[in-house]
Amino acid sequence: MTWFFKLNVIDGPLPLTIWGLTIVAVILVLIRRPTPAWLWRIVIALAVGIGGGAALVAFVNTSHAFGPAMPYACWFWAPAGFAAILLGIVSLWERRVWRKVVAVLVVILSLLSTTLGVNAAFGVNTTVGSMLGIATDDKIDVLPKPVPTETTSGPLYKTWHPPANMPKTGETAVLSGSHAIPSTGGFQPRDAVLYLPPAARTANPPRLPLIVMMMGYPGDPDATFIAKALDDLAAKNNGLAPIVIVADQLGVTKADPVCANTAKYGDVPAYFNTDIPAYATKNLNVLLDHSYWTIMGYSNGGACAFTWATHHPDIWGNIVAISPDEYPGVEWRDEAIKTLFGGDAAKFDALKAEAGIAENPGKFAGHLAVFTVGGADPGYIPGTKRDAKRAEDAGFTTTFHEAPGADHVAGALNTGIPFAMELLYKHLGLSAP
């Protein structure tokens, strides 16, 4: 069944087939001799479905139930889907058995079509497996052994010469079982995903920079977007790219632990700032100089990344934040203070980047900070700008980038990651400055 979970659900044959079958089934239930009673059922079903779907999208957007506003395409998928589902339901009163069967198919296919359509509008979950929270990357059998010492005597773009048989692309694999990253502070993460670039897959690989990345909330450790961006850059730079661990800051409950150490969720900071660095140092062929280490995150993960980059400048030499929350727990601040910190606002505020900057004055010189946000993501632009200003004032070498037309979901990832990686490549010596 692995092949099924790897099927593309954005623009591959599966969604196109489901959408096509749905249209055919809807047409079949509508092809009949009209009667006044039938017409009234159809009109009411369409009106209630379209109105209900539009009202649901409006409610989600105004209540911020899922954080940012839903993509514009949801204004089509929700009303159209609800209308088609109700059309199928009212058609169950047909006398002929075959029409009843088609009506049932309309309901089922419309549910699937709406789900696939809304998912495609967000664009973050690209496969059946990622939609269902099932990892589709192969589980790694053997980790490449780290070379004994640092091997670089200059920037890698000058010193690395790839062998003729170097793979064309990198590979991703789930770090599970004996290769799982142990969590020592009570936090229960889902399995991380490892990306090894082409240069790391050679017989005598160089030590490479490290990126630890987090996705958003709700979300899964998924290397799809960063692997594509790095494969594209590696193809232009002799197979060079950072080794990446896409790790889980949410945990098996898929809640929002606000990047904190709490009695309810365990010590998330210890997992990222102690356990993962120890694992990478021991098991991966990464550069040991932490100026080559980057903490990176998207949305919820971006808030964690900026927090930990400021609290642990000795570990994280650089930070990349893609459409980040301004600070951990910003979307449910009062409730988070109440439920996770027993009402102690000071403990909550200690998570913020300002607190880390205050604790580490003068320690960010030479640290790169890249903040990106979509131009069609108005709810996140002000907070991202403020974070970039905080980083700049603290001494980071800071870049803020607003991607024209990009939204908060796939658009943010598809524009923000390549932009940030171009800058990171030059900073890390993977490409010419």
Residue 384 sits at the vertex; the CA angle it makes with 379 and 390, to the nearest 5 degrees, is: 145
Helix (H, G, I), strand (E, B) or coil at 368: strand
Residue type, 404: P
**Residues with Cβ < 8 Å from 378, sequence gap 6 or more?**
none
User: What is the Cα–Cα distance from 276 to 297, expressed in whole angstroms?
Assistant: 15
**Alpha-carbon Rg for the chain in angstroms:** 24
Q: Are 177 and 232 in contact (CB under 8 A)?
A: no
Alpha-carbon distance of 174 to 217, in angstroms, equals 20
47 Cβ neighbours under 8 A, 6+ residues apart = none
Give the chain's domains with CATH numbers. 2-122 (no CATH), 137-428 (3.40.50.1820)
Strands 171-175 and 261-262 come out as: unpaired
| pLDDT (tens place) for every residue of the chain, 433 residues total | 577 777 777 777 888 999 999 999 999 989 888 888 888 888 999 999 899 989 998 888 777 666 667 778 888 989 999 999 999 998 888 778 888 899 999 999 999 999 988 878 777 777 777 777 776 666 666 667 777 665 557 899 999 999 999 999 999 999 988 899 999 999 999 999 999 999 999 989 999 999 999 999 888 899 999 999 999 999 999 999 999 999 999 999 888 999 999 999 999 999 999 999 999 999 999 999 999 999 999 999 999 999 999 999 999 999 999 999 999 998 888 998 999 999 999 999 998 999 999 999 999 999 999 999 999 998 899 999 999 999 999 999 999 999 999 988 889 999 999 999 999 999 999 999 8
* Residue 281 buriedness (CB in 10 A; 0-12 / 13-18 / 19+): middle
Instruction: Round to whole Å and give the CA distance between 323 and 326.
Output: 9
Return the ∠ at Cα 325 (arms to 323 and 329), rounded to 5°: 160
Are 160 and 216 within 8 A, CB to CB? no
Instruction: Tell me 273's DSSP state.
Output: I
User: Structure tokens of 233?
Assistant: 């850059």
Q: pTM score, two decimals?
A: 0.85
Per residue in 31-59, pLDDT (tens digit) is 888 888 888 888 999 999 899 989 998 88
Q: What is the average pLDDT score of the chain? A: 90
CA–CA dist 22, 18 (Å, integer): 6
Contacts of 331 (CB under 8 A, 6+ apart): 64, 67, 325
**Residue spans of alpha helices (H) in 31-180:** 36-63, 74-90, 97-122, 128-132, 156-159
One-letter amino acid at 179 equals H
Q: Are 304 and 319 in contact (CB under 8 A)?
A: no
Please state, in angstroms and rounded to a whole number, the distance separating the CA atoms of residues 122 and 78.
13
Phi first, then psi: what are they for 261, rounded to 5°? -100, 110
Question: What is the signed CA dihedral for 370, 156, 141, 267, rounded to 10 degrees?
Answer: -30
Please, where are the H alpha helices in 360-431? 381-394, 410-428
pLDDT at 11: 78
All residues at 6 or more sequence positions from 172 whose CB lies less than 8 Å from its CB, including other chains = 137, 138, 193, 194, 195, 196, 223, 227
Burial readout 86-109 (b: 16 or more C-beta within 10 A, e: otherwise): bbbbbbeebeeeebeebbebbbeb
Q: Report how far residue 175's alpha carbon sits from residue 138's, in angstroms, rounded to the nearest whole number.
A: 9
* Residue 112 exposed, middle or buried by CB count within 10 Å (0-12, 13-18, 19+): middle
